[in-house]
Structure 1
Amino acid sequence: MATILKRASKGKAGYGKIQFCGEQARRDGLQYFWVDTCCIDKSNACYVYLPDVSQSSSVLADNSNESWESFRKSEWFRRGWTLQELIAPASVDFFSREEVLLGNKTSLEQDICETTGIPATALRGSALSDFSVAERMSWTECRETTYKEDKAYSLLGIFDVYMPLIYGEGKDRALRRLREEIDKASRGTSLFKREDFSVSFSLSDVSDVEHFVARKIELVKIHKALGVDGSRRVVVLHGLGGIGKTQLTVAYAKRHKDDYSGIFWLNIKDENSLKQSFVKVAKQISREHPLALRLSNVDTNENLDDVVDAVKEWLSLLNNKRWLMIYDNYDSPKLPGKTDPTVVNIREFLPELY
């Protein structure tokens, strides 16, 4: 501390934080302390100074949800590099601008989990290999970094991999290299949980009849015909318009949503509607699987054929076998001898066979 006092300018931004850290370390009986970049060792304690959280002891005493709102909105929870600072150390203490102890990651666990989306078990020290690649990537979804490449570099500790830092290569190339290192590390080892390709269930774009009652025998037949063994199956529901095919399918999807890694609803009324459905699917997948680089990089506003191909490619990955694609409103199928140019050939929009 004496060395810092002699060499550092007290007028520089951040000096107060360094001084506070030294004083707090002394109060806690610590002989040494580091600032910012070094509090990621599991054996160390980490002090988090939150300059955008202004809470005095009197405010904290009421313990109301409103008094903790600034804590949940702190910029610290939106920075890329702070993810490993939160997870790695066994002890993380949070301090307000007034240098008041707000609590630690144990006492503030619920607030932190709700703010970051990180499971409590990860905060408590569970092995990160217990969480899939996709799940760990989701923890970074709302985090930003000053340098684009740091979006990948800040995750090296989270995935326990190493690669050279090459600033200037761009975010996409950095993420691609990260993906390659993760793939290398996962081969022949149990350090990585098998990726599940899961995508959150949502039928928000599908109209749902509130009091529709599906016959159980029909739902059972559909489920038996589709199976859930990972093999490719095609089931066709056919009948006159208005008899309830769409609502029967909605009922099936809701009942069996946990049997599939993802359920995707596509409107095949015409080719443009179908391609727009693929755009929505692409955005949904890339949001939850940001390392699916082709999906993340494809321009969803330009070449829709590229979007379709990118989605089909992701769905055709070797271990990605438990999804369900629902093509609705296919009233004009492509049949031999049918020359209507508006007819959609559904075969062109099916993922490749494994």
Structure 2
Amino acid sequence: YAILSHCWYRDKDEVQFREMEGLISDSVRQMLHERPGYQKILKSCQLARENKLHWLWVDTCCINKDSSAELTEAINSMFRWYDKAEKCYTYLHDVKDNSFPTERKMEDFPADLKGWPKWFSRGWTLQELVAPRNVVFFNHEWQAIGNKKDLAPILEEITCIPSRVLKYGMDAYRPSIAQIMSWAADRKTKRVEDRAYSLLGLFGVHMPMLYGEGKNAFRRLQLELIRMTNDHSIFAWDRQSAGWSGSVLADDPSLFRDCDDIVKMEPG
């Protein structure tokens, strides 16, 4: 199967699970066909067919978010689903050029994106970059503009993720907890809990989703990591940052911003 990685449009421009069920109705089908989100699904299906793949998974329409049990299962399984995909189609909707951006372009991308496409600023897309073996990037017009392995050097510059992780995966080189947290430091999510939930797969952690718990989700993640590992880099975050609550646990991944050089040492 193939899988899509993308930035969501506004909810009303995407096609949700419950709406896909209504496609048998001509009136509903016509309404959905006009949405930008439907065009993403259609283009991705065309690519999957060209690659002789029988299935495509898209988060907007393949998760029933009305079911808390299904949502929890999906979030806890997401990294594995991206890892097992034959192809990951990454759609950069704001890239107009027919080549991958190799330098910051403040005139093309807003200042809060630091001169790079929006996809690189989102929390969920971090695991969607790391997990799949075969990632192909597409521009606004769905022209292929490169793949993850060939673009590893520039992707490392953008994300601070080491090229060897991008090329060979997490199994070949296991980063420290602090280093992984640093990759997420400046990424944003729509809901504060997703700052933690979007990291579960990168750490191999499974835990229930409790939307409404706020920043406690990130504390729960850290407690689970402390229980599972003996990696003390989890305590290496910046306590000089404004807003520190006084806890031994960090309140947010942004406090690990300067930890990208904290690496595991081989014994001996």
Report the TM range for the smaller structure's normalisation.
Answer: 0.5 to 0.7
Cα RMSD for the two superposed structures: 3.5
Task: Show the counterpart of 1:50.
Answer: 92
Task: Return the index of the structure with the highest Cα Rg.
Answer: 1
Counting only pairs closer than 5 Å after superposition, residues 203-218 of structure 1 correspond to structure 2 as none
Q: Residue deviations 1:24-79, cap 9 Å, x none?
A: 111111111111376843221210111111123xxx3xx88469886961111110
2:252 & 2:42 partners in 1: Cα distance? 47
Aligned-residue offset at 1:130: 1.8
Indicate the structure whose relative CO is greater, using CA pairs within 8 Å and at least 6 residues apart: 2
1:195 and 2:239 are equivalent in the alignment: no
Candidates 20, 31, 35, aligned match of 2:54:
31
1:163 and 2:207 are equivalent in the alignment: yes
Unaligned runs of 5+ in 1: 188-192, 200-279, 297-354
Structure 1's 67 and 154: CA in aligned 2 closer, same or farther, altered over 3 A? closer
Task: Show the counterpart of 2:178.
Answer: 134
1:149 and 2:149 are equivalent in the alignment: no
Task: Show the counterpart of 2:75.
Answer: none
Structure 1's 52 and 291: CA in aligned 2 closer, same or farther, altered over 3 A? farther
1:163 & 1:137 partners in 2: Cα distance? 18
1:292 and 2:266 are equivalent in the alignment: no
| Matched position secondary structure for 1:97 | coil
Counting only pairs closer than 5 Å after superposition, residues 230-309 of structure 1 correspond to structure 2 as 282-283=240-241, 292-293=249-250
What letter is aligned with 1:47? Y
Aligned-residue offset at 1:93: 0.6
Structure 1's 291 and 170: CA in aligned 2 closer, same or farther, altered over 3 A? farther
- Contact 1:282-1:295 within 8 A present in 2 as well: no
How many corresponding residue pairs?
201
What letter is aligned with 2:155? I
Unaligned runs of 5+ in 2: 1-20, 61-77, 110-114, 254-268
What letter is aligned with 2:177? V
- Contact 2:159-2:183 within 8 A present in 1 as well: yes
Structure 1's 102 and 168: CA in aligned 2 closer, same or farther, altered over 3 A? same
- Identity of paired residues, percent? 38
The alignment's TM-score, normalised by the length of structure 2, stands at 0.65
